Structure 1
Amino acid sequence: MSSFVRHIHRKVHTLQGERQTALDLARGRSAFILTSFLLLYALVALRVLELTYIRPYFLKQETPITASIDEVKPISKETRGKITDREGNILASNVAVTALYIDPVFIQNKDDAYKDLKRIFPSESAETLRNRVFSGKRNILVRADLTPQEQEAILQAGYPGLIFRKEYMRIYPQGEQTAHLVGFVGSDGKGLEGLERIFDKQLNKGEDVTLAVDLRLQYAMHKALAAKMKDFTAKAASGIIMDIKTGEILSSVSLPDYDPNTFSDAKPHQRFDTNINGVYEMGSTFKILSTAALFESKDPDMTLSYDATKPLVSGRFKIHDYHAEKRVLTIPEIFMHSSNIGSALIGQDIGTDTLKTVYRDLGVFDRINVSGMTTAQPLVPKPWRSVNTLTASYGHGIAVTPMNMVQAVGTIANGGVKTTPTFIKTTEQKLRQTRILSEKTSKQMLQLMRLVVTNGTGGNAEVAGYSVAGKTGTAEKISASGGYQKDKLLSSFIGVFPAYDPQYLVMVMIDEPKGNKKSYGYATAGWTAAPAVKEVVQSMAAILGLPKNTDLTKDTQMVGRLQEIIDQSETSQKGSAKLASN
């Protein structure tokens, strides 16, 4: 019996042991499954947290790749102000765009992604796209401005690492027409060139900038310059229109130019603004300044004459005339015939100190600040020798920017009151006036400048009814070795109108023009720059609705007395020559 009971107890213990083992096994499996679920839930929770909070935070905080000047990227600032012309036409503005960025971390199959992007953007460089897809960096710009079709294609491709962002891109609706003036911004929204750079702080505060430029006149100047460059196979051309009374620059064009919307494609010479950054020996247009210095310092009668019968020698230098009259010339004749010999004698007569003082007062020795944009430094002889006084009187040996010339001639034509060029529209005429020259000197110079157009080398600038007054200038360019090149000219014309009460100044400069059949092979200013000024003045008259002067009395009075002096001089010298021959 006892053995039977012991056997039964052993069986019970065995069954209990097996049941406990099974129960422990079941508990272990349950714990494993529960732990697995908890871990899976934790992973899902972490992924949700990463997608919802962490990833957007780093996408927002991570700095995009810095763009060099050869990469156009969208601007993140919506508030940058507009730049407009005087009539409110937009020259620069921000517009909302959809940009595409790539985060390679979330692109699993990079080869497929590259192929799809190449298909969607066939114009993009294959190498550039591949570098972006396989880059170790994050949040790389792929395209700054997506079309709706491109956005749809990206969505269809279905890559989580391709990210859309709303951005604000800087656009320039007028393209190359105002490129040098307006400039452009970089990828960070900061101005890099032109007035975008000068007014960067103001624009980034959301403030608009209104320029003095009139877009209609800008187009007119651009068209005239482009035509002359083509006609005369010129290297470059530039032009400026200024309101003499206010100093407002109504147009400033420099060719060749570029499109600021794609500034990365522009070559350095295209981005070079001749009007601000170029310094040139201007040639005979400088005779406006030296003759004004004569009137201001000596107050001579117009009949004052100088002997231009033969070249003027100073040391090893010999000064010639392009079209030598080989006779004694009065002041009107020197100016009208553009005599280098006569102008050099004028410089000699007034003296070095006086000439330099007037030039300095007119602003051709120093940089000038035009609404924050500073011109290049003029090149002035150092040391200044006696021969420099002679050559500077006819625009050689001293180099200035076109803007320096505009300020100087504008001052002379503005009754002798200093004209300060500005790119910003003025709401009222400036009250402060700085007198540089006498009003008498101003009137005398306007008479001479009008004479150049009616009787001299500037005839091709004349526009009936608008009394253009001005001066031609043809200068030989200096070679790398230092000598002058007879076959490489800088031809310019600077004029004002109407001559009896100038309101506007127009300057045109053609760099290295080549003579053609219509110009009888000449590439001088009278054949190249003067006709361009005529076209611009005609356009201005039509655009601005300027009335014609139908009363010729004022015009006759301006040049009538000068013509009498010239006639008397020519008659007198013909008589003298006849007596000498007898």
Structure 2
Amino acid sequence: MSIRKEILSRAYITFYVLVLVSVVIMGQVIKIDTVERAYWIQRGEDYSIRKQNVEAQRGNIYADDGSLLATSIPYFDIRIDFGSEAMRDEYFNQHVDSLSIYLQRDIWPKRSVAQIKQKLVRARKDRVRSFLIARNADFTVVEKVKKYPLLSLGGYKGGLVLERKSSRLKPYGNLASRSIGRMAGDRKPLGLEMYYDDLLGGKDGLRYVQRIARGIDIPIHDLTEIDAQEGHDLQTSINVNLQDIAEYSLRQVLTEHEAEWGTAIVMEVKSGHVKAIANLGQTASGGYYENLNYGVGRLYELGSTFKLATMLALFEDQDLELDDPVSLGPGYMRVGSGIIRDSEGHPFDTTTIEHNFAISSNVGMAKLAIKYFRSDDGPDRFFKYMKQFHLKSKTGIEIPGEPEPDIYSKEERKNIPGKKGTWSSVMSIPYMAHGYELRTTPLQILAFYNAVANDGYYVPPRLGEKVMKSGSLVRMIHPNMKSVRIASESSIKKAQHLLKEVVLNGTGKNLISPDYSVAGKTGTTRINYADKDAKRKKYIASFVGYFPTDQPKYSCIVVVNDPKKHAYYGSKIAAPVFKEIVDYCYATDPNLMKVLNDKPMLASAQIQLPVYEVGYSKDFETVFGYLGLKTRKSTESEWTVILQDSTDFTLAPRAVREKAIPNVVGMGLRDALYLLENLDVRVVVQGTGKVTRQSIEPGSPINNKKIFLTLG
């Protein structure tokens, strides 16, 4: 073969080989770009360096006394990066034996030290980047692991990788659970957690991580990070003990009468701060659970509790006097196609406005409304006053989901789906006057009664009180909350007198007590009156009022829906819950207690008695019984706070929750040790006498096994 042909043949062979290689490469490129595209994209994501958000520590929610209502508990996945470039074989070989011993003692007790060492050596040999030590470990375990041989060298040399997570804990369980709420990610967010999310949530940080296996990232420490800023804390107005009493009393009544749901709310008159908000609904099994915030989110027909709004409107519009006459006739009257009846008979056909309100006559109220508000521009004036009383607007409470009040005029109903055509020029005003054909939430009508108690000044209900940071005050949430007068002074005085008369001589007589004074209004509402085929009548029982009557400190509402046994009147069902709450407030608040002896005592009669003691209930009962001293017990409780007025001692409850640090301040050392050591908490004591200070806040989760008590 000639040299020329040989060169050409080699060139052709080279050319064909290159063409074949090109075809193969192009085929692989097409295959990778089409058939295997998703696979290689996923591989790139799995082993790439990326930015990752670092979740900020969420702020705590506290009760009014600093007790924890909600807190974030950190937990960790603990891993070792045996592929870390800074981990030298000499470090590993020097510490592997002792590391195996520590891991066997604390983490893997069912494995032998030899087995653990074998796993560690194999992982080091294979340069395993994510060797799992423990999953969902708490802070105590993490602190131990950080001190282990090799791992104590840190993330570079020791290969320690901590993946931080957190869960939200409510130390008091379901207490005020719906109002405290839950944050985003815990199903549907709600309550204070949702409303104050920006404040509590803090600001997430940023770090760079490298994915070393599917779903496993490790931080790259030499790249820039932005530190997370922890959230602020929220101190609420909720009083834990008062909340407990409200829920307990409400549950007892709901269970006894087999009611569908109930709510009880307590507010401070001057500030509008909500001190307790209990909500319980019946479950399929017949028990009761806080499944909905009925106090804030449920509209209901008010019945007789709305009569105060009608009377206040009449006082503002016509300047009626309390002794003006009202005709009740035979106790019923026909209005259009309906009949308005009084719930109970009475032996008179004419009475005064004052007595008409006290006995809660539907007929008397309807006749007054027909006379002054049904004709001409009367309905317009009526709704003007409802707006003036803040009964046509939301309260603005910091719980998302509050509905608008259902109190609509003829013109407003024309533009509302489901309301068009429901106005009756004959029937609507007289029925609305005694609480039908309109709806509000329990909190909305309570805010109105609170304004009457507050001499006519309306303050919006509020749960948030302070923004805190590391125990220090950042700001007050509502520092200059303005109150607005809803009616003239003379009209308010008349309204206050009517509410007193209900308790003294009307439907609320069962609230009379020699120890305190209460003003309020009962309500009993038929809720299925439009159902002509109903097999049984359904009612809502309610009571709303305030105490003390002269200088009101608290307002309160109790609503019980559809009681099925024994009774259905507000005076028989809702009023007893109200009374339990009032009893507790008077028993535990010295400022409310009646002064029994304000005269100077003889020096010889000045006997030193315990004014404030905390301890075991049965011990106190034994001692006081032996000494023959009078005591009052506000509720059943294993632990008690002793409060003393001039002659009596009150045994008030000291709430102690499971799986939370109790409040032992004021206790003797024996009782404090009994409580804490039964929780496996190590106690360190300094000083003598009673406990004056404890190092861990009451209500905190039991993470720290040591607590310091100061006695004095």
Q: The TM-score by the shorter chain falls in which range?
A: 0.5 to 0.7
Could you say which residue in structure 1 is the equivalent of 2:540? 490
Identity %: 24
Q: Is the alpha carbon distance of 1:300 and 1:196 closer, same or farther for their aligned partners in structure 2, counting shifts above 3 Å? A: same
Asked if the contact 1:216/1:543 (under 8 Å) is kept, the reply is no
State the AA in 1 paired with 2:444: N
Query: 1:550–1:336: structure 2 CA closer, same or farther, 3 Å change rule?
Result: farther
Per the TM alignment, residue 373 of structure 1 is displaced from its structure 2 partner at its CA by 3.6
1 CA distance for matches of 2:342 and 2:49?
72
In 2, Cα distance between equivalents of 1:484 and 1:339: 25
Alignment partner of 1:459 out of 509, 516, 521: 509
Q: Deviations over 1:485-522 (max 9, x none)?
A: 86311100001011122221011111111333xxxxx2
Distance 1:547 1:377, change over 3 A: closer
- Per the alignment, residue 333 of structure 1 pairs with 355
**Residue aligning to 2:441:** 401
1:214 aligns with 2:211: no
Inter-partner Cα distance in structure 2 for 1:295 and 1:431: 28
CA 1:378 to 1:483, structure 2 compared with 1: closer, same or farther past 3 Å?
farther
Q: Distance in 1 between matches of 2:51 and 2:489?
A: 64
Please, which of 175, 178, 181 is the counterpart of residue 180 of structure 1?
Answer: 178
Checking the alignment, whether the CA contact within 8 Å between 2:369 and 2:430 is kept in structure 1 is: yes
The aligned amino acid for 1:472 is T
Give the Å deviation of 1:481.
5.1
1:219-274, Cα deviation, whole Å (9 max, x unpaired): 1111111111112111111011001111111111111399xxxxxxxx99953210
Q: Which runs of 5+ in 1 are unaligned?
A: 1-53, 64-75, 102-119, 121-137, 153-162, 259-266, 517-521, 552-582
Q: Which amino acid aligns with 2:460?
A: T
Q: Retained in 1: the 8 A contact 2:307–2:365?
A: yes
Aligned runs of 1:48-87 on 2, under 5 Å?
77-87=55-65
How far apart, CA to CA, are the structure 2 residues paired with 1:463 and 1:429?
Answer: 36
Equivalent-residue separation in structure 1 for 2:177 and 2:282 (angstroms): 7
Q: What is the identity, as a one-letter code, of the residue corresponding to 1:370? A: I
Give me the whole-angstrom Cα distance separating, in 2, the residues matched to 1:208 and 1:62: 25
Deviations along 1:290-323, one digit per CA (max 9) or x if unpaired, are 1111112111221111211132222111111111
Count residues in correspondence.
433
Alpha-carbon deviation of 1:365? 2.1
Q: Distance in 1 between matches of 2:345 and 2:536?
A: 17
**Alignment check: 8 A CA contact 1:246 1:429 kept:** no
Indicate the larger mover: 453-462 or 503-512. Answer: 453-462
Match of 1:380 in 2: 407
How far apart are 1:60 and its partner, in Å? 7.9
What SS does the corresponding residue of 1:192 show, helix, strand or coil?
Answer: coil
2:451 matched residue in structure 1 = 411
In structure 2, list runs of 5 or more residues that go unmatched. 1-43, 80-109, 111-129, 145-160, 203-230, 374-378, 414-421, 467-475, 597-712
TM-score (norm 1): 0.67
Instruction: Name the counterpart of 2:264.
Output: 239
**Deviations for 1:372-394, whole angstroms, at most 9, x for unmatched residues?**
64521222352543321111111
Pairwise CA distance, 1:350: 2.9
| Structure having the higher Rg | 1
Q: What does residue range 25-174 of structure 1 map to in structure 2 within 5 Å?
A: 77-99=55-77, 165-174=163-172
Query: Hey, what does 2:705 align to over in structure 1?
Result: none
Distance 2:179 2:554 in 1: 20
SS in 1 for 2:189: strand
Deviation string 1:36-89 (CA, Å, 9 cap, x unpaired) is xxxxxxxxxxxxxxxxxx9997698689xxxxxxxxxxxx63421111111111
Alpha-carbon distance in 1 for matches of 2:188, 2:135: 21
Is the Cα contact below 8 Å between 1:191 and 1:197 reproduced in 2? no
Partner of 1:199: 196
SS of residue paired to 1:412: helix
Q: Distance in 1 between matches of 2:167 and 2:260?
A: 34
Q: Corresponding residue for 1:346?
A: 368
1:87-123 deviation digits (Å, cap 9, x = unpaired):
111111112223589xxxxxxxxxxxxxxxxxx9xxx
Picking from 342, 351, 354, the partner of 1:321 is 342
2:526 aligned with 1:529: no
Separation in structure 2 between the aligned mates of residue 532 and residue 542 of structure 1, nearest angstrom: 15
Q: 1:362: how far off?
A: 1.7
Does the 8 Å CA contact 2:74/2:139 hold for their aligned counterparts? no
Q: What is the CA deviation profile of residues 321-372 of structure 1, one whole-angstrom value per residue up to 9, with x for unaligned ones?
A: 1113251121111111110001111222331222211212222223331136
RMSD of the alignment, in Å?
A: 3.9
Structure 1 residues 240 and 100, CA, compared in 2 at 3 Å: closer, same or farther? Answer: farther
Contact 1:491 1:528 in 2 (8 A): yes
Shift of 1:143: 7.3
Please point out which of 517, 533, 538 is paired with 2:583.
538
Q: Using a 3 Å threshold, how does the CA distance of structure 1 residues 86 and 257 change in structure 2: closer, same or farther?
A: farther
* Helix, strand or coil at the partner of 2:76: strand
Aligned residue identity for 2:181: G
Distance 1:250 1:345 in 2: 38
| Structure with the larger RCO, 1 or 2 (CA within 8 Å, 6+ apart) | 1
1:367 to 366, 369, 394: 394
Alignment of 1:419-458 (within 5 A): 419-425=459-465, 430=480, 432-458=482-508
Cα distance change, pair 219–302 in 1 and its aligned pair in 2 (3 A): same
Match of 2:16 in 1: none
Residue number in structure 2 paired with 1:309: 329
Q: Secondary structure at the match of 2:439?
A: coil
Partner of 1:573: none
* Structure 1 contact 240–507 (Cα < 8 Å) conserved: yes
Q: What residue identity is the alignment partner of 1:344?
A: A
Residue range with higher mean Cα deviation, 529-538 or 351-360:
351-360
Distance 1:384 1:269, change over 3 A: farther
| CA shift for structure 1 position 191 | 8.1
Aligned-partner residue type, residue 177 of structure 2: A
Taking the aligned partners of 1:445 and 1:293, their CA distance within structure 2 comes to 10
